[in-house]
Amino acid sequence: MIDDPVDLRVQRKWEVAIGYRIFAKMRWGQLGAGHISARDPERQDHFWVLAHGIPFGAATIDDLALVGPDARVIEGPSTEGINYAAHNIHWPILDSRPDLVSAAHTHTQFGTPWSANVEPFVPISQEACAFVFDQSLYMGEDLEVDTLQGGRSIAQAMGATSLCILRNHGLLTGGTSPASAVGLFVLAEQVAEVHIKATRPKPIPEDSARKVSASLRTVDIGWRAFQWLARDLVPDPSVVLG
The pLDDT score that the predictor gives to residue 11 is 97
User: Please, which pLDDT band fits residue 167 given cuts at 50, 70 and 90?
Assistant: very high
Domain boundaries defined on the chain: 5-241
CATH number assigned to the domain with residue range 5-241, chosen from the 4 options 1.10.287.70, 3.40.50.300, 3.30.420.40, 3.40.225.10: 3.40.225.10
Alpha-carbon radius of gyration of the chain: 17
Nearest-angstrom CA–CA distance, 50 and 55:
9
User: Please, which pLDDT band fits residue 82 given cuts at 50, 70 and 90?
Assistant: confident
The pLDDT score that the predictor gives to residue 83 is 86
Nearest-angstrom CA–CA distance, 25 and 55:
12
Buried b or exposed e, range 40-67, using 16+ CB within 10 angstroms: bbeeeebbbbbbbebebbebbbebbbbb
Q: In the predicted model, is pLDDT for residue 78 greater than 90?
A: no
Nearest-angstrom CA–CA distance, 232 and 226:
10
Lowest pLDDT segment from 96-105, 158-167, 218-227 = 218-227
Asked if 81 contacts 71 with a C-beta cutoff of 8 angstroms, the reply is: no
* Burial (0-12, 13-18, 19+ Cβ within 10 Å), 197: exposed
Q: What is the reported pTM?
A: 0.97
What is the share, in percent, of the chain residues with pLDDT greater than 90? 91
Q: In the predicted model, is pLDDT for residue 242 greater than 80?
A: no
Asked if 125 contacts 209 with a C-beta cutoff of 8 angstroms, the reply is: no
Q: What is the mean pLDDT of the chain?
A: 95
- Cα separations in angstroms, 45 against 20, 34, 90, 99: 22, 21, 11, 13
- Average pLDDT for 29-48: 96
- Average pLDDT for 93-104: 98
Q: In the predicted model, is pLDDT for residue 35 greater than 90?
A: yes
Q: In the predicted model, is pLDDT for residue 2 greater than 90?
A: no
The pLDDT score that the predictor gives to residue 191 is 98
- Average pLDDT for 29-55: 95
The pLDDT score that the predictor gives to residue 80 is 80
The pLDDT score that the predictor gives to residue 89 is 96
Nearest-angstrom CA–CA distance, 31 and 86:
15
Q: In the predicted model, is pLDDT for residue 1 greater than 80?
A: no
